[in-house]
Amino acid sequence: MRRITTAFTTLWIVFFAGTSSALAQESGAGQLHATEKLITQFGLGLIIAFPIFVWAMSRLQAGLEKRKDRKKAAYRKSKGSAAWKGGW
């Protein structure tokens, strides 16, 4: 077990030590060459997309709740009110 742990740790360190130098560039911008404009547009896109996503998911949930209520009402109607009276 100790060999596996040592081998895994060594592999992990070598992998991450190599990635920093492999992805480095002289400009420091990374592989996407991200500029301030690109980052700003991405941020504004998130600001716009998140409320739209929340609105769409809430509309979906409201539709599913209405569907559940319709199914529950249909079940009550088909079984009669006697099935819903009483307790255990």
Give Cα 21 to chain centroid, integer Å: 31
Q: Phi/psi class of residue 65: alpha, beta or left (left: φ > 0; alpha: ψ in -120 to 50)?
A: alpha
Residue corresponding to tokens 């409320």: 51
Give Cα 80 to chain centroid, integer Å: 43
Within a domain: 46? yes
Instruction: Please give the single-letter amino acid code of residue 61.
Output: Q
Number of domains in the chain: 1
Within a domain: 16? no
Within a domain: 54? yes
* CA–CA gap between residue 9 and residue 17 (Å, rounded): 12
pLDDT tens-digit profile of 29-50? 566 667 788 889 999 999 999 9
Which domain range does residue 64 map to?
33-77
Within a domain: 25? no
Least confident segment among 25-29, 65-69, 70-74 = 25-29
Within a domain: 24? no
Looking at residue 82, what DSSP letter applies? G
* CA–CA gap between residue 87 and residue 69 (Å, rounded): 21
Within a domain: 69? yes
